[in-house]
Amino acid sequence: MLSLPLIALAVMVLLALGYRFYGGFISRQYALDDNAATPAHRHEDGVDFVPTRPFSLLGQHFSAIAAAGPIAGPILAAKQFGWLPALLWIALGVVFIGAVHDFSALVASVRHGGKSIAEVVKANLGPKAGVSMLAFIWVALIYVIVAFTDVTASTFVAKDPDLAGIAFDFNQGGAVAAASTLYLALAIVLGLVDRYLKPPLWLSTVIFVPLTLAAVWAGTLLSTVLQATPLVWGMVILAYCFVASLSPMWLLLQPRGYLGGFVLYLALAIGTLGIFFGGFEVKQEAFKGFSTPGNSGLLFPFLFVTIACGACSGFHGLVCSGTTSKQIDKESHCHPVGFGAMLLEGFVAVIALATVMIAAPSELAGKGPGTLYSIGLGRFFSVLIGEQHLPFAITFGAMAFSTFVFDTLDVSTRLGRYILQELFGWKSRLSSVGATLLTVAVPAVFIWVAKAGAWQSFWMLFGTSNQLLAALSLLGISVWLKKLGKRYWYTFVPMIFVSAITVTSLVLHIRDGFFGPEVTALGWVNAGVAVVLLALASSLWVTGVRVLMQPVVTAVAAEPVAG
């Protein structure tokens, strides 16, 4: 019988060694200099550019990047192909590809004045490549918002059959909705307190982190108060994203990210303790085959793009260059925030994988990844607090899942605004409102037409576009390093590998969407978007290869990068 604790321990050791040695190697390549003024200091404005303490920034960054991908992706992949190939891709991919991408995108943005990854590409590949990158990013963000909005709305209406025998009136979805609403209100209060009362960080932590857990408990008591259909919740969430993305960072994004970081840290701790001390057995098959029935049945490439953010995510580069780089206090903080947060996300994916590994095959039928995760994490939590508190434990698991997703929606909408403003040169406050409205309006149309469950129809293309974005970001960074006359194999080789995965996936999407045995309207939409993404990526690859073949003439960035 395979030992779940031994498997988890092996992954933890690999991640720790990866941070210490490979992360240290990458850090030396960039010659991080704490004497250099970061964009947070050079352009400090109290809204977007704000020097932030590394521990606080790590929590905010972690909660922004740790969305549905590292939870839903590993669970879906394990159900389809088995847990072993999923575990191998998570453990190896996160160290040698995902963390390198995040770290490199963060450093590149800091060295380019806090500019987005699209601006980094534009500075090194030219204006046309910059436009192509902006268009690609915006389309990818639309898919992030569509998939994550719908999956979050689903958690607000879910009913867990494991709680059917409880003697009091309890609705799991309503509990998650109530707890999430209280959590967001609490974050706003924290933002106001920190802004105007300026208490020490430890005092805010001691007060507001326990209140966050109290919000979860209150959610179980108010589980029948906030109930609506998935469509209504989807529209409400998009409306929230519209308001939140236009708010100052200090009011919601930073305090919510800080509190969300503790929720995620607690979920990590609960998952870890449950794995090591819960006595759970591995009940799932390690390997189910190289192919399974359906359009997404091939292990290559669909295992890789299904797991998505759990191993490598282009969205992380948008967070690194869109918000996090504007808050880096010192360059050395890029290592723990960029490289370290991605490794933490990798272990989040391992815990998500464990929640399905301990489930009997019969327990998987009819349950989505959000439900499986909340039940699994609730089982881990009940090891610590007792099974009599199962409603609270499962509600916490579901809220942790929605927290992972909810924070990303706000950031995605904000980044969509940034992208449109960069693309069209909009600078006024009114244009910010218009860019934000357009960014949420397109997902609203998708969700309205597709109704509940749309995320399942869009998930595979979301994962593909997300990882292809990572490959294109690594291409731009490789060109930047080449222009500086520095080594760049550690970004170029991952770019080639991820490009091969995602191009294969796009080609299969186009084939199945237009010519497959079950052609649907959503299939046509996905196939059409796949054509657009492939065309935009091809133009960037052609430009990138041409620039890489040119001799080094001049450096693009002022700060040195070690050879």
Residue type, 75: I
For the chain, the domains span 4-287+300-548
Cis peptide leading into residue 301 (ω within 30°): yes
pTM: 0.88
CB atoms within 10 A of CB 430: 8
Burial 61-94 (b: 16+ CB within 10 A, else e): bbbbbbbbbbbbbbbbbbbbbbbbbbbebbbebb
Q: How far is CA 460 from the centre of its chain?
A: 15
CA-to-CA distance for 86 and 105, rounded, in angstroms? 25
* Residues paired with residue 52 on neighbouring β-strands, in sequence order: 328
Let me know the angle formed at the C-alpha of 385 by 383 and 391, rounded to the nearest 5 degrees.
Answer: 95
Q: Rounded mean pLDDT of the chain?
A: 87
Closest of 522, 50, 101 to residue 324, by C-alpha: 50
Domain 4-287+300-548 belongs to what topology?
A: Amino acid/polyamine transporter I (1.20.1740)
Helix axes 69-81, 369-385, angle to 10 degrees: 100
Q: Considering just the CA atoms, what is the radius of gyration of the chain in Å?
A: 22
pLDDT digits 0-9 by tens, 17-26 = 999 999 999 9
pLDDT digits 0-9 by tens, 362-403 = 888 777 787 788 889 989 998 988 888 777 788 788 777 777
pLDDT digits 0-9 by tens, 96-117 = 999 999 999 999 999 999 998 9
CB atoms within 10 A of CB 281: 12
Token readout for 227 is 């109930």
pLDDT digits 0-9 by tens, 42-85 = 999 887 898 999 988 987 788 778 877 899 899 999 999 999 99
